[in-house]
Structure 1
Amino acid sequence: MIKKTVTKRKYSKGAQEEVRKEMHEFEQGTAHSGPKLKPVKSEKQAIAIGLSKAREKGLKVPKKS
């Protein structure tokens, strides 16, 4: 008998959508962060901003390590 492994999602669909929106803004060159609205310079930074926004909304996102 073959056992199926059940994996839990680490991120909710809403969190994925927030990251997708932030990446789209980054690609368009309109993504900004911080109180001085400095432009986002890397993909990693854009992903981190998207996850942060998802956390603020209370969506399912793992804690910061």
Structure 2
Amino acid sequence: MKSSSKAGTSTAKASGGKRWSHEVTEKSDALDLKRDVFTLEDPRQIARSLKRSAEHSTRRKSEPYRSAMSMLTFYINRAGSNLTQKRRRVLERAKDELRKAFGRD
């Protein structure tokens, strides 16, 4: 039996050959997102797309604002250190734009 360097962690992909975060995004009661929404350069466009998705989603269980913000935060957290500083700034600004879009600024 092989052991990993960190107990309880897996270096392999989750069941089915996909990472668990991808499976969460695909199958959870989250949002049906526009393809490549997190690669957009304009934080306002990201926020508008997330808002539109949250308001029209039939899969979400909580209010649109909460679902949209959760999905954005989930993406930022899962990307972790793989995000460049520039990309992280764009996504963090998208949070501010999302708050504005929902009147929560």
Q: Rg: which structure is higher?
A: 2
TM over 0.5: no
Q: Which structure shows the higher strand fraction?
A: 1
TM-score by length of 1: 0.39
Q: Which structure shows the higher helix fraction?
A: 2
TM-score by length of 2: 0.28
Structure with the bigger RCO (C-alpha within 8 Å, sep 6+) is: 1
